[in-house]
Chain A
Amino acid sequence: MPALEVLETGVLTTVQDAGRVGHALLGVGRSGAADPVSYALANRLVANPPRAAALEVTFGGLRCRAHGAMTVAVTGAPGPVSVDGRAAAMNTVIHLRDGSELRIGTPERGLRSYVAVRGGLDTPPVLGSRSTDTLAGLGPQQVTPGTVLPVGPPPQDLPVVDAAPDTVFPRDEVELRVMLGPRDDWFTEDAIRTLLTSDYVVSSRTDRVGARLLGPPLPRSRMGELPSEGIVPGALQIPHHGDPVLFLADHPVTGGYPVIAVVVSADLRWAAQARPGTRLRFRAVG
């Protein structure tokens, strides 16, 4: 069986798929690819079924070797990609020979890239998913140098396109559309205005659970404790003391601070691609 041997990882490389759906009532979150659009594109390029597991590489730094010939695609944060030292293109179908080495360098923009292998990474699924949930400790172990990831049998479908058009990744500033609520009524009108007119900068404390943001405070109109309630990815939670948290794929199932607004699903990928230092602007939509 072909396999991908990981030789080096950057800050964090994990196996991800479309996530665990339907287990929230047992306290299990969805996890899954933080940028679902780039993940889906990688699978589409190699004609994998939509839920096939791929590698999510945070801020580049991945080096891996093909054991057996295989077809891969690299998508997401644009940056240098090479095969055996020769430059290769992102968002294309790449054929690796047995023993070939694939490298992904530091991205010029964005934060997370995806490596899909035709046939999918065939690690054992947990509750119907191969995603590593970094908060709950479910799914495959974090990928480390020496990890050998088995590749599943190729699907019947053949790749139909050689390349997908490159998506333009924003550089230092990202506008995210949000829907206010469900707890916007816990904040003053000034706080809502501040949220929608100020820059919030992604701090260095950002991971798959969420991004802590630095920006002007958002005063509450209501004191007291909010009983814990369900969280969704894209929820912008405002702790009583401390910085706002924009939750991402490995968010806790419930949280005890009010959520002032939620990033719309279509813009979640840009929240997940915002590296530390990125200035976020929130725009309210119906």
Chain B
Amino acid sequence: MRILEYGDAGLLIEVDDLDTVMALHAALAEHPLPGVEDVVPAARTILLRLTPGTDRTRIRQAVRDLPLRPAAAHPVGEVEIPVCYNGADLADIAATTGLSETEVVAAHTAATWIVAFCGFAPGFGYLVGDDPRLRVPRRAESRTRVPAGSVALADGFTGIYPRSSPGGWQLLGRTDVAVWNLDRDPPGLLRPGTRVKFVPV
């Protein structure tokens, strides 16, 4: 673990892999540190945004002292997402992975996914799965508009577009589940640590 200075109100914790990010994030959620206003987990890092004047040495030590355990063993919740697997990139995904379209869908629904972190847009979760065959790159060219509810794959993650937006991920299908709804508390369905199962409809 490396802890980098990030301006005068941030610390960036860098770790070796996503599993450690998730374990560290779970530990930070369980043991909130005074002086930390915002926690931003990402692929290899967690950014801590601090209240000005916070003792950075104390935070550094407290982070190193956090007890880590695998996040996958302790999901913060479970969500089932029904998906209509008719995405525009399903054939391309099959070609890239060497699977048939039916096998792609079977692999996506059989895998256990966990929300690693959020970003890109409010409520957009980066989900990691346990099936390495589903690793596909982003599309060579982004789409200017991906419809809300699109279920997509890229860079080893799966994700659901919370609202219509530009996007470069490969589209697998669509869901009617609103992953972001401001009338709900919390508005985001896919909080880091949530376990997700996709169900074909």
Which of A's residues lie within 8 Å of B, judged by CB? Answer: 21-28, 30, 126-127, 136-138, 179, 181-182, 227-232, 234-235, 252-254, 259, 262-265
In the assembled complex, B38 has its CB within 8 A of some CB on chain A: yes
Binary contact readout B44-86 vs A (1 if CB under 8 angstroms, 0 otherwise)? 1111010010000000000000000000000000000000000
Name the residue among B40, B44, B46, B186 with the largest chain A CB count within 10 angstroms: B40
Give the docked Cα–Cα distance between A227 and B117 (Å).
13
New A-B pairs, 13, CB < 8 Å, besides A25-B39, A234-B7: A25-B25, A25-B40, A25-B41, A27-B119, A27-B124, A138-B122, A181-B6, A227-B45, A229-B45, A232-B6, A254-B119, A262-B7, A265-B8
A30 contacts which chain B residues (CB < 8 A)?
38
| A25 contact from B7, B10, B118, Cβ within 8 A | B118
Q: Considering only CB atoms, which chain A residue lies closest to B28 in the complex?
A: A25
A24 contacts which chain B residues (CB < 8 A)?
38-40, 47, 49
Q: Considering only CB atoms, which chain A residue lies closest to B41 in the complex?
A: A25
Binary contact readout B112-124 vs A (1 if CB under 8 angstroms, 0 otherwise)? 0000011111111
Binary contact readout B1-44 vs A (1 if CB under 8 angstroms, 0 otherwise)? 00011111110100000000000010000000000011111111
Give the docked Cα–Cα distance between A137 and B165 (Å).
11
A235 contacts which chain B residues (CB < 8 A)?
6-7
B192 contacts which chain A residues (CB < 8 A)?
25
A126 contacts which chain B residues (CB < 8 A)?
182
Give the docked Cα–Cα distance between A23 and B49 (Å).
12
A28 contacts which chain B residues (CB < 8 A)?
122
A265 & B52 in contact (Cβ 8 Å cutoff) = yes
In the assembled complex, B200 has its CB within 8 A of some CB on chain A: no
Contact A229 B121, CB 8 Å, known A22-B38, A262-B7: no
Q: How far is the CB of A139 from chain B (nearest CB, A)?
A: 10
In the assembled complex, B163 has its CB within 8 A of some CB on chain A: yes
Name the residue among B46, B119, B121 with the largest chain A CB count within 10 angstroms: B119
A253 & B119 in contact (Cβ 8 Å cutoff) = yes
Name the residue among B8, B12, B188, B192 with the largest chain A CB count within 10 angstroms: B8
Give the docked Cα–Cα distance between A234 and B5 (Å).
14
A232 & B47 in contact (Cβ 8 Å cutoff) = yes
Q: How far is the CB of B154 from chain A (nearest CB, A)?
A: 12
Q: How far is the CB of A245 from chain B (nearest CB, A)?
A: 15
Q: How far is the CB of A182 from chain B (nearest CB, A)?
A: 4
B188 contacts which chain A residues (CB < 8 A)?
26-27
| B37 contact from A21, A182, A262, Cβ within 8 A | A21
Q: Considering only CB atoms, which chain B residue lies closest to A263 in the complex?
A: B7
Q: How far is the CB of B189 from chain A (nearest CB, A)?
A: 10
Binary contact readout B184-201 vs A (1 if CB under 8 angstroms, 0 otherwise)? 001110011000000000
Q: Considering only CB atoms, which chain A residue lies closest to B18 in the complex?
A: A227
Give the docked Cα–Cα distance between A256 and B120 (Å).
11
B118 contacts which chain A residues (CB < 8 A)?
25-27, 253
A182 & B4 in contact (Cβ 8 Å cutoff) = yes
Contact A229 B37, CB 8 Å, known A27-B120, A264-B8, A265-B9: no
Give the docked Cα–Cα distance between A263 and B10 (Å).
12
Binary contact readout B151-172 vs A (1 if CB under 8 angstroms, 0 otherwise)? 0000000000001000000000
Give the docked Cα–Cα distance between A263 and B6 (Å).
10
